[in-house]
């Protein structure tokens, strides 16, 4: 079935609410879609309800930040929970609850420094929340469980931009470069689960752990990936042994590059028993990843256990 299983909403760092993304998915003729917000299932049920009204299927999902020093992996895992609502994913929600608390503390930390740098005492978490609710389509977060919001650096960027404290020309990419790596804000390190613990929680809820955008680890450079083929195969074996079952075929910003990297990944991953999903990592209009119309695939379904 035609599927795009990697989409983001304003419950994390996307620009649209779940209902708007469902409309976009229907417009693109998708049969199956997944909202994969960072470290939260907060918008999953709203997305599923909207998809159902439009005649397409949704799978409950999220994208979870992980850190695995053993193989130098600092990225994410996708968790998919076919046939389940968000409330049925107790172990995953428990794990995400810790991370969501950390994300909120991080934003409060950055706001403290923003008040200091800009000498503006009115830069508060309550004000950021008002800005978040007001953004996007009418309705927004009204009536939703606000504990499901995954606060990100994007929220800080949009808030400071709305307050006219950043230059009009500044993009989020430039903001990250100037303010974080290293920059004007002191570093705040988020606590993240490792690969095995993350995969274990997902599996406990009947879900499937999937590696997203694997080419990013190698700078989306097919020549580098081919040179490091043995190292990449070793990484994939580590993931497989750690309970990860799938790997994402992804949109790498151009048709030729996408085809080359996905063919390479499939060739290494298939013999190890991985199944394959398809995702464009769309964050919506106004972002540098407005890609829902760029990529999808004929998804074979989640494997039987």
Query: Mean of the pLDDT values across residues 40-64?
Result: 97
292 in Cβ contact with 25 (< 8 Å): yes
Average the pLDDT over 211-229 and give the result: 96
SS (H, E, C) 204-248: HCCCEEEECCHHHHHCCCHHHHHHCHHHHHHHHHHHHHCCCCEEE
Phi, psi of 33 (to 5 degrees): -145, 160
Mean pLDDT of 104-129: 95
Mean pLDDT of 263-286: 97
- For helices 153-162 and 172-179, give the axis angle rounded to 10 degrees: 100
Range scoring the smallest mean pLDDT among 49-58, 76-85, 130-139, 168-177: 130-139
Mean of the per-residue pLDDT values for the chain? Answer: 93
Local structure of 186: helix, strand or coil: coil
Q: What is the pLDDT of residue 18?
A: 94
Q: What's residue 133's pLDDT?
A: 74
Q: For residues 129 and 284, give the distance between their C-alpha atoms in angstroms, rounded to a whole number.
A: 20
CB 238 within 8 A of CB 71: yes
Residue 148 has a pLDDT of: 87
**Residues 6+ away with beta carbon under 8 Å from 272:** 236, 237, 240
Provide the token pair at 178.
Answer: 């100037």
* C-alpha 110 chain-centroid distance: 21
Tell me the HSE value of 196 on the side-chain side, using a 13 A CA sphere.
Answer: 7
Length, in residues, of the chain: 305
- Bridge partners of 94, per DSSP, are none
pLDDT, mean of residues 122-145: 70
DSSP one-letter string for 131-153: HHHHSSSTTTTTTS-GGG----H
Query: What are the tens digits of pLDDT across the range 158-167?
Result: 999 999 999 9
pLDDT greater than 60 at residue 106: yes
Strand order, beta sheet including 208-211: 60-68, 73-81, 208-211, 246-250, 275-279
User: Band of the pLDDT at 245, cuts 50, 70, 90?
Assistant: very high
- Cα torsion angle, 88, 90, 96, 98, sign: positive
pLDDT tens, position by position, 22-35: 999 999 999 999 99
In angstroms, the CA 214 to CA 277 distance is: 12
Q: Does 138 have pLDDT greater than 80?
A: no
User: 78 forms bridges with which residues in the sheet?
Assistant: 63, 210
Residue 143 has pLDDT above 70, yes or no: no
In the block, residue with structure tokens 């074996």: 237
What the block records as the tokens of 270 is 């298939």
Cα-based angle 194, 44, 243 (whole degrees, multiple of 5):
30
Give the Cβ contact number of residue 96 at 10 Å.
Answer: 25
pLDDT at 142 over 80: no
Please tell me the predicted confidence (pLDDT) of residue 141. 53
Mean pLDDT of 247-276: 97
Q: Residue 246: pLDDT above 50?
A: yes
The pLDDT of 170-196, averaged and rounded, is: 89
Q: Are 1 and 31 in contact (CB under 8 A)?
A: yes
Share of the chain above pLDDT 90, in %: 85
For residue 145, pLDDT over 80 is answered with: no
Evaluate if residue 14 carries a pLDDT over 50. yes
Asked if 245 and 195 count as a contact pair (C-beta separation under 8 A), the reply is no
Q: What is the mean pLDDT of residues 194-205?
A: 97
Strand order through the sheet with 2-7: 57-58, 32-35, 2-7, 297-298
């Amino acid at each position: 079935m035609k599927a795009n299983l990697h989409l983001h909403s304003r419950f994390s760092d996307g620009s649209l609410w779940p209902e708007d993304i469902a409309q976009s998915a229907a417009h693109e003729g998708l049969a199956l879609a997944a909202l994969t917000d960072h470290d939260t299932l907060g918008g999953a049920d709203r997305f599923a309800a909207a998809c159902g009204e439009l005649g397409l299927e949704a799978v409950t999902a999220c994208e979870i930040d992980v850190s695995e020093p053993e193989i130098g992996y600092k990225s994410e895992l996708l968790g998919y929970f076919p046939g389940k609502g968000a409330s049925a994913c107790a172990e995953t929600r428990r794990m995400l609850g810790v991370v969501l608390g950390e994300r909120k503390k991080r934003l409060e930390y950055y706001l403290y420094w923003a008040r200091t740098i800009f000498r503006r005492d009115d830069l508060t978490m309550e004000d950021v929340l008002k800005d978040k609710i007001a953004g996007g389509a009418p309705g927004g977060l009204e009536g939703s469980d606000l504990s499901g919001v995954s606060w990100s650096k994007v929220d800080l960027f949009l808030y400071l931009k709305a307050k006219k404290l950043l230059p009009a020309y500044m993009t989020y990419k430039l903001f990250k470069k100037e303010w974080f790596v290293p920059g004007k804000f002191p570093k705040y390190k988020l606590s993240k689960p490792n690969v095995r613990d993350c995969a274990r929680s997902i599996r406990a809820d009947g879900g499937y752990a999937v590696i997203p955008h694997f080419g990013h680890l190698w700078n989306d450079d097919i020549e580098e990936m081919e040179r490091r083929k043995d190292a990449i195969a070793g990484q994939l074996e580590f993931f497989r042994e750690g309970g990860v079952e799938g790997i994402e075929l992804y949109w790498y910003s151009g048709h030729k590059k996408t085809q080359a990297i996905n063919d390479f990944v499939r060739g290494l991953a298939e013999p190890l028993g991985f199944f394959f999903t398809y995702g464009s990592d769309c964050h919506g209009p106004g972002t540098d990843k407005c890609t829902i119309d760029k990529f999808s695939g004929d998804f074979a379904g989640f494997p039987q256990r």
